[in-house]
């Protein structure tokens, strides 16, 4: 067992435990932040995830992974779930799961895709869609720890309406010294945005990322194809592979 500077105690996964929904917050028409009470939660680091398991009345079970959306906060954990059309688990969590209802959770899971507030290297966060969730946990942990480590977030979304945490990110970029937030729109950009909608490319990373010689830590998260493209571009720009950490959420949409 280790202790982080946030005071969170990070233990080996302890098996399944029952958690209940205490609050939900709408992020977009198809995504919600779900706050769970998970008694005995051992704490976690930003970037880690949990497995959520549902059990049907006939005993059928389905489990999926969801990133933790904020730093450790006692027995409370927050997840942000994007509804996948015709999915087995995400539509249940968004549409059917009621306050007080139980699910099982297991975690925290993952030890590589994490950021520790005592790190001082500049950080580049590159998010595609719901891949912003664990990166937001890092932005929130940085604030909670009073860290001044330089952070840059490049966030690729289809349209402005698809962005998670829009108001909070605007406030963080305004108030948190050393945090820059840049959006890349793939389908429809807001009025006044420079350029045409496009998929993230080399120019976005050179303009809004960090040069490789500063040895930043890079965290890339999103759909599988997005992550592979961005990681390849970063390595092509000279970033060391061991400093490019990736998390793949699943198929490219």
Between 133 and 220, name the residue whose CB sits nearer to ligand FAD. Answer: 133
Closest-approach residue to ligand FAD (CB): 87
For residue 221, the minimal CB distance to ligand FAD (Å) is: 8
Q: Which of 6, 32, 48, 67 binds ligand FAD (CB under 6 A)?
A: 67
Q: Whole-angstrom Cα distance, residue 107 to residue 137? A: 16
Interaction of residue 104 with ligand FAD, rule CB under 6 A: no
Q: Whole-angstrom Cα distance, residue 39 to residue 35? A: 13
Structural contact between residues 248 and 224, judged by C-beta atoms closer than 8 angstroms: yes
Interaction of residue 29 with ligand FAD, rule CB under 6 A: no
Interaction of residue 162 with ligand FAD, rule CB under 6 A: no
Q: Which of 4, 33, 80, 229 binds ligand FAD (CB under 6 A)?
A: 80
Binding mask 106-145 for ligand FAD (x = CB under 6 A): ------------------------x--x------------
Q: Name the one residue in this structure whose structure tokens are 């007080």.
A: 100
Interaction of residue 90 with ligand FAD, rule CB under 6 A: yes
Structural contact between residues 198 and 223, judged by C-beta atoms closer than 8 angstroms: no
Q: Which of 39, 195, 214, 250 binds ligand FAD (CB under 6 A)?
A: 250
How many CB atoms lie under 10 A from the CB of residue 164?
23
**Span near ligand FAD by CB under 6 A; candidates 80-88, 144-152, 201-209, 230-238:** 80-88
Q: Whole-angstrom Cα distance, residue 36 to residue 76? A: 6
10: which strand partners? 2
Residue in 142, 146, 155, 207 with CA at minimum distance from that of residue 181: 155
Q: Which of 32, 82, 156, 246 binds ligand FAD (CB under 6 A)?
A: 82
Residue in 70, 68, 60 with CA at minimum distance from that of residue 92: 60
Q: Whole-angstrom Cα distance, residue 235 to residue 202? A: 11
Residues that bind ligand FAD (CB under 6 A): 49, 64-67, 80-82, 84, 86-90, 130, 133, 223, 247, 249-251, 253
């Amino acid at each position: 067992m280790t202790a982080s500077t946030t005071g969170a105690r990070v233990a080996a996964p302890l098996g399944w435990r029952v958690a209940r929904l205490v609050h939900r917050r709408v992020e977009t028409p198809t995504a919600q932040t779900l706050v769970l009470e998970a008694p005995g939660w051992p704490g976690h680091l930003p970037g880690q995830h949990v497995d959520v398991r549902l059990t049907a009345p006939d005993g059928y079970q389905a489990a999926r992974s969801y990133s933790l959306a904020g730093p450790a906060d006692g027995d409370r954990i927050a997840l942000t779930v994007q509804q996948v059309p015709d999915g087995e688990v995400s539509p249940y969590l968004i549409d059917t799961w009621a306050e007080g209802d139980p699910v099982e959770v297991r975690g925290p899971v993952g030890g590589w895709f994490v950021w520790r507030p005592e790190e001082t290297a500049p950080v580049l966060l590159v998010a595609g869609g719901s891949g912003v969730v664990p990166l937001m946990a890092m932005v929130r942990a940085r604030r909670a720890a009073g860290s001044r480590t330089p952070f840059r977030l490049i966030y690729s979304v289809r349209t402005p309406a698809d962005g998670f945490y829009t108001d909070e990110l605007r406030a963080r970029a305004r108030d948190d010294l050393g945090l820059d937030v840049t959006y890349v729109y793939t389908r429809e950009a807001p009025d006044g945005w420079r350029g045409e909608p496009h998929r993230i490319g080399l120019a976005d990373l050179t303009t809004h990322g960090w040069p490789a010689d500063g040895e930043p830590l890079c965290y890339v998260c999103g759909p599988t194809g997005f992550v592979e493209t961005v990681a390849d571009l970063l390595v092509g720009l000279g970033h060391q592979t061991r400093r490019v950490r990736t998390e793949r959420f699943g198929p490219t949409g």
